[in-house]
Amino acid sequence: MLVHICCSVDSHYFLSELKKIYPDENFIGYFYNPNIHPKSEHDLRFADVKRSCNMLGIKLIEGEYDTQNWFKNVKGLECEPEKGERCTQCFDIRLIKSASIAKAMNEQKFTTTLLSSPMKEQEKLYAQGDDIAQKNGLEFIKVNVRANGGTQKQNELAKEDKLYRQNYCGCKFALEQQRNKQNKISLEMISDIGSQILPGSIEERREIFAHRDYLEKNNKEYILSQRKYIVWRLLNAKILLGENHLSAYIIAKSQNKKDTKTGSVIWIKPNLFENISKYYTLKEKIQKYENEKYLVGYSKKDDSLFVHLKLLNLILDTSYQSIEELLYHPPKYDEEIFFRNILCGYESINPIIIIDKIFSGSVRINIQSIFQEESIFRVIENL
């Protein structure tokens, strides 16, 4: 029997129950979900489905990510609500493809783990599955694993087996609607220009679950936990010196500034390490800082700081030659926060702007950034 798989949370319990109902059946999992956006989220869900199928002893094949074809087929339905016509069309796309694969593999039966999702209308799926099966000379297997507390058991099993529990259905249209209701921005659809891995990003989730897999492979005990964080994203920034753009890099957790005039910027060499040296091993850096010319610019009318690239290189042991290089190959997020701590303190949110030329006079600052609460997975190893 071919089983279309949408995600590990739905498939793990569904397949477990299906094996009980059909003990003599040979199951083949088929992960085909071009509706999942972005591609990095699709790949993360596939990796977790692969782990789940390995745990259950089920063969798995991956369908193509023909997302452009999916967009073409749902055109005009972008504003449909969850469980509306876009979802119906999305089910058809995936079930028709699954039926085609089943026929090519000489399988007589197929089904889908979408039936276990509380976000889907089961009767509608039954009807769609039967119709597609009939057109292809197949049997669509209808099982109700939600009944008799099945949904709760599914959630409990997902937690017990430490699955990746995604926080949105899949497509960008449903995600946008969901985040709008939450008064949030869809961070999942935002990528850093320099591919920096940011807290709450899909890229961070991939690292976390890869670490989970590493611990399991090496028989190390761990727990999978979720924690609330206030995460930061820079949407855009522009620094103007007169009518000219000033080449600049914005350090993490810098707050919004809308056409803010700094007034004259005062350049000094502050005692950055007065209260830091006892916490960090920075003796050589402190000595170098004291012996060479490192300036920090403090704006007269604002709380923004301007820091020369040379000082960033000193603190972070980097060797950036230009702001452009910094933009496209940024340091790790934690290193930026460490740098912020040295300059202003860990809890600060005032803008820290890296420049590679000392300037005189006033500048205008435009920074659009957001701070947003997110639940973040953490893998905690047992020592």
Nearest-angstrom CA–CA distance, 349 and 253: 5
DSSP state at residue 34 = T
- Encoded tokens for 131: 């119709």
Pair type for strands 364-381 and 222-241: antiparallel
| Closest among 294, 254, 304, 248 to 273, alpha carbons compared | 294
- Encoded tokens for 73: 């087929």
pLDDT (0 to 100) of residue 337:
96
pLDDT (0 to 100) of residue 281:
60
Q: Which residues pair with 232 in a beta bridge?
A: 371
CB atoms near residue 241 (< 10 Å)? 17
Each residue's pLDDT expressed in tens, for the chain with a length of 383 residues = 999 999 999 999 999 999 999 999 999 999 999 999 999 999 999 999 999 999 999 999 999 999 999 999 999 999 999 889 999 999 999 999 999 999 999 999 999 999 998 777 888 899 999 999 999 999 999 999 988 898 999 999 999 999 999 999 999 999 999 999 999 999 999 989 999 999 999 999 999 999 999 999 999 999 999 999 999 999 999 999 999 999 999 999 999 999 999 999 999 998 887 766 555 567 777 778 877 888 899 998 999 999 999 999 999 999 999 999 999 999 999 999 999 999 998 899 999 999 999 999 899 999 999 999 999 999 999 98
Domain 2-181, CATH homologous superfamily name and number: HUPs (3.40.50.620)
Instruction: Tell me which amino acid residue 246 is.
Output: L
pLDDT (0 to 100) of residue 207:
97
- Encoded tokens for 182: 């939450």
CA distances from 282 to 20, 134, 315 (A): 61, 72, 9
Q: What is the pTM of this model?
A: 0.91
Say if residues 65 and 76 touch (Cβ distance below 8 Å): no
- Encoded tokens for 356: 């590679």
- Encoded tokens for 273: 């390490």
Beta strands in the chain (DSSP E): 2-5, 28-31, 59-62, 109-112, 139-140, 222-241, 244-245, 248-250, 257-261, 265-268, 296-299, 305-308, 352-355, 364-381
Instruction: Tell me which amino acid residue 200 is.
Output: G
pLDDT (0 to 100) of residue 154:
94
Cis ω on the peptide bond leading into residue 118 (within 30° of 0)? Answer: no
From-to residues of CATH 3.40.50.620 in the chain:
2-181
CB atoms near residue 73 (< 10 Å)? 17
Pair type for strands 59-62 and 28-31: parallel
CA distances from 240 to 25, 143, 302, 352 (A): 68, 63, 15, 15
Residues belonging to the chain: 383
State the DSSP H helix or E strand holding residue 93, giving kind and residue range, or none if neither. Answer: helix 85-104
360-370 pLDDT tens trace: 989 999 999 99
pLDDT (0 to 100) of residue 87:
93
